[in-house]
Amino acid sequence: MNGVRTIPIAIGCVLRIVILSTGALLTGCDAKSVSSPSAGTDAAMPVAVATASREDVPIQVQAIGWAEAYATVTIRPQVEGQLTEIHFTEGQQIKIGDLLFTIDPRPFVAALRLSEANLLKDQALAEDAEREASRVTDLFAKNMAADRERDQARANSDAVRAQVQADQAAVENAKLRLEYCTILSPIGGRAGARLVDVGNIVEANKTALVTVNQISPIFVTFSVAERHLSLIKQEMQAAPLTVETQFADESSDPIIGRLAFVDNQVDMLTGMVRLKATFPNEDHRLWPGRFVNVALTISKQQDAVVVPTSAVQTGQRGTFVFVVRGDSTVEMRPVSVGANVHERTVLSEGVQAGEVVVTDGQLRLTPGAKVRSKANANTEAASQR
């Protein structure tokens, strides 16, 4: 009986020891889990900040446009003949009056010589007819010639003089056709691909030889909604309107131009009106046919509150910003957003000039969270090193 009674006592002691040990371990885990969050709560979140300021902000209309040559000329011959020389390379920048093509001039030289010979012949005949008319007139005065003879001699002289004038016109035309054998550029610009090779026979006013585009200056064409038309016309009367263009795949500075043209009608299908802006384009950044982002500045909003666009966030209840208070905690404040220009956003309500807003790191913030500037955090880390 004694052996039977001692076994439960031993088992009970073992269970008691296990329970006490487990309790001690759980107590240690609880202490660790409680102390860890409290230590993280006091740490300030590093964020980037900026100060809201008051500025004069341009009111702009955004659009997609495309560059268009200021002038385009398709070169065609004015005489028929064989193309003998090409005096430019494809893509070359050319000036007004530069020689582009030469057509075989020999047939036109021969035609000019023939016209000059006919002129000389008829001039000689005209002199003889004039002398004959004078002789007959003298005879008529002496009653030695009839009226018919006098009139006929004068008519013959007039006819030969008219033929001389026709010959002079033929000579001038032959000279002009000979000049057409050398084809000059009527505008300055960029030459395109040549469309005919040397040796081909070209037809007058039909065969296209090359297209020349004037790209300096250059147009940018775009369209805006008709609701902006009245304000655009009103502001254009006061001063030229500024137009900025920028390529979607570039981060370089925008190209500045001036509004030059407003179409005389609104497209009834789209409700849009077409506009053109002129750009000097001396560096040839704009190229005919290339699409660009366009910003037309219509007027300016004076003394507006402006913050970096990255400060503005969108939530379920609309747009908001995190404002840093004096105790380095943040307040989530709803705002009314206005124009957006060059990564700067106008706030019509919600923020005052001089207040500090968070521009980076908002995803980790909640209202009342403590923050510190990333610039200050970097300075402290450098000093500790």
pLDDT in tens, 77-136: 999 999 999 999 999 999 999 999 999 999 999 999 999 999 999 999 989 888 888 888
Give the DSSP per-residue string, 103-170: E--HHHHHHHHHHHHHHHHHHHHHHHHHHHHHHHHHHHHTT-S-HHHHHHHHHHHHHHHHHHHHHHHH
193, two tokens: 């691909």
Residue carrying the six token digits 């296990």: 18
Per-residue pLDDT at 62 exceeds 50: yes
pLDDT, position 42:
57
Per-residue pLDDT at 15 exceeds 50: no
Per the CB < 8 A criterion, the answer to whether 68 and 222 are in contact is: no
Structural domains in the chain, sorted by start: 45-56+303-384 (2.40.420.20), 61-68+217-302 (2.40.30.170), 78-103+183-208 (2.40.50.100), 106-179 (1.10.287)
26-35 — which CB contacts under 8 Å span 24+ positions? none
Question: CA geometry: angle at 376 spanning 372 and 381, to 5°?
Answer: 110
d(CA 321, CA 306): 12
Give the DSSP per-residue string, 354-385: T-EEEEE-GGG--TT-BEEEHHHHHHHHHHH-
Per-residue pLDDT at 164 exceeds 50: yes
d(CA 63, CA 66): 10
pLDDT band for position 331 (cuts 50, 70, 90) = very high
Amino acid, single-letter form, for residue 24 = A
Cα–Cα nearest to 263, from 215, 222, 217, 218: 222
How do residues 241-269 score in pLDDT, each as one tens digit?
999 999 987 777 899 999 999 999 999 99
Amino acid, single-letter form, for residue 198 = V
pLDDT, position 18:
39
Beta bridge partners of 257: 243
Per the CB < 8 A criterion, the answer to whether 313 and 47 are in contact is: no
Question: CA geometry: angle at 320 spanning 360 and 349, to 5°?
Answer: 120
